[in-house]
Amino acid sequence: MDPYAVLGLPPDASLEEATSAYRALAKAHHPDVAGDPRSAEVMASINAAFDELRARAAPDGVATDDPAPGAAGAPPRHPRRGAWLPDGTRRALGAELLAALEQQEAVHLVVPTTTWVSPESTLALTDRRLLWLADDQPTHRVRSLRFRDVARVESKLAWPRRRGRASVRVRTLAGRRLDFGDLTPDVALQIARALGAEL
């Protein structure tokens, strides 16, 4: 996939131009706005293209064809985003969640989930918070909740129980309610225990 072509940009476009193009395309093709049944697929391509361009522009990104560190004339290498994590975890997180991680933040779990805002979300459980990406949202896609801000948490099986799915309901100290659904029961329990251990 050529991210510039997807966003309708020339190859020398700046990140600011890419951002403007992304916003315009997101407004036109977002599934909540467009009547086209393919809009979710088109929006996913637009999101992926913009993620790719942002990752390329990130100061801590490393091109695979960089000269070896210390080689004559080689630019200094920056560590890869989330370099302390296993490759599989980095791939599961994707560019946006990786960018939201704090230095040395350990990631225990990355799973697909649903929220009331987005039926297509990716949820990460780290050593200090819940971090999630609303895949189908045009803006404010990454959100988080620190363990210290959790007032109450519960996991429960979905109805009908034979589906083998569960959800986690979190109440924050500010009174906000968050629901993460379509999880396996063991994952829901793991998340609830991690959050409950901090209460």
Query: Which residues lie closer than 8 Å to 43 by C-beta, 6 or more apart?
Result: 26, 29, 30, 31, 136, 138
Question: In the chain, at which residue ranges do the beta strands (DSSP E only) sit?
Answer: 107-113, 121-126, 129-134, 142-146, 150-157, 166-172, 177-183
- Domain positions in the chain: 3-57, 87-196
pLDDT < 50: residue spans in the chain: 60-76, 199
In this prediction, residue 59 carries a pLDDT of 52
Q: Does domain 87-196 have CATH number 3.40.50.1470?
A: no
Q: How much is the pTM?
A: 0.60
CATH number of 3-57: 1.10.287.110
In this prediction, residue 167 carries a pLDDT of 92
In this prediction, residue 2 carries a pLDDT of 84
In this prediction, residue 111 carries a pLDDT of 95
In this prediction, residue 62 carries a pLDDT of 39
Both tokens assigned to 118:
């987005």
DSSP state of 24: H
Comparing CA positions, the residue from 180, 171, 122, 169 lying closest to residue 149 is: 171
In this prediction, residue 108 carries a pLDDT of 95
- 110/142 Cα distance (integer angstroms): 14
